[in-house]
Amino acid sequence: MTLGQLSAFVLVARLGSVTGAARALGVTEPAVSQALAALRQHHGDRLLVRSAQGMTLTPAGRRLLPIASRMVELGADADAAVRQASGAPEPLRVAVTSTVAEFVIGPLLEAFGTRSGDTVDVSSGLATTEQMGVLVSHRLADAALGPALTGPEVDSVPVFRCALVAVGAPDRRVQGDPASWPWSVGPSGADPDSDVARLLRQLRVPDTRIQVYPNETSAWSAAAGGAGVSVAVEHLVAPLLRRRELAVLPTSATPAPVCWHLTTPARQRCSAAAASLRYFLGTPAAMQLMRSPDRGVPPSRFRPPVHVTIWS
């Protein structure tokens, strides 16, 4: 029995699917299935079975889950203790939404890394809202930057307020009910718990009217080219609005106020690096970067968002 097998088991149990666990870990579904098979053989029980609701726990699996969760957390504690004793930089693994990853996390973590010197080794990984809660609560990530997360094992604090707006080509004004408009959105539109998905549900936009693009920039480009309407964080799309490549379109639900939150494990389990990041995000320098994250990052400090396979 290994920590990798236990991590896979915990994620499948919490997310309800092998696919979701594989995406969170950044590995293939067969790799997760193999880890579960090894754990099942070790314990002589199926632990998880398929049902109409997804993967559900057997009675033995329900008893194993809290123990496995604690073992995964102890593994993170052990790694941190060894790194501290050897003088290695403290790892800071930040799970982020696609929007934060595309526009904000690079310059933000670059500034935090400069402030922290060589004492912190920072990395970021893409995750859905549901995956964020599981990753943070089980210490598979040290922090998450995105929507507010709830739970007895996490602390979520607001760090930046902004607004979502609908945007489209200035010379192609759409008419009628927004539910009938064609919508072009970034990856956040496919995350059912994201602010963008909630806005589209509020406007009663059916899935058949939504096209998901690889990133926000390409979705905005499609909207600017007349392919439909997009959703954007107002201050991030402001340069395109000023250049009149896009224009704000009025709807009954926009502008929609949203707030980015930093979520960490509960304070008694929060790492020193995550606590330091929480303090940094309240500084004027961090606020300015989240408001205008348009400066580059030196090649020596560039760290693209990655899947959390490097953390497992």
Q: Please tell me the predicted confidence (pLDDT) of residue 308.
A: 44
Per-residue pLDDT at 267 exceeds 90: no
Give the confidence band of 80 by pLDDT, cuts at 50, 70, 90.
confident
Q: Please tell me the predicted confidence (pLDDT) of residue 310.
A: 33
Give the confidence band of 306 by pLDDT, cuts at 50, 70, 90.
very low
Q: Please tell me the predicted confidence (pLDDT) of residue 294.
A: 67
Least confident of 28-32, 44-48, 299-303: 299-303
Q: Please tell me the predicted confidence (pLDDT) of residue 295.
A: 53
**pLDDT tens digit sequence for 130-152:** 889 888 988 888 999 999 998 87
Domain with CATH 1.10.10.10 in the chain: 1-82
Architecture in CATH for domain 89-294: 3-Layer(aba) Sandwich (3.40)
Cβ–Cβ under 8 Å, residues 15 and 21: yes
Q: In CATH, what number does 1-82 get? A: 1.10.10.10
- Output the average pLDDT for the chain: 87
Per-residue pLDDT at 309 exceeds 50: no
Percent of the chain with pLDDT over 90: 54
Domain with CATH 3.40.190.290 in the chain: 89-294
Over range 218-244, report the average pLDDT.
94
SS3 for the chain is CCHHHHHHHHHHHHHCCHHHHHHHHCCCHHHHHHHHHHHHHHHCCCCEEEECCEEEECHHHHHHHHHHHHHHHHHHHHHHHHHHHCCCCEEEEEEECHHHHHHCHHHHHHHHHHHHCCCEEEEEEECCHHHHHHHHHCCCCCEEEECCCCCCCEEEEEEEEEEEEEEECCCCCCCCCHHHCCEEECHHHHCCCCHHHHHHHHCCCCHHHEEECCCHHHHHHHHHCCCCEEEEEHHHHHHHHHCCCCEEECECCECEEEEEEEEEECHHHCCHHHHHHHHHCCCHHHHHHHHCCCCCCCHHHCCCCECHHHHC
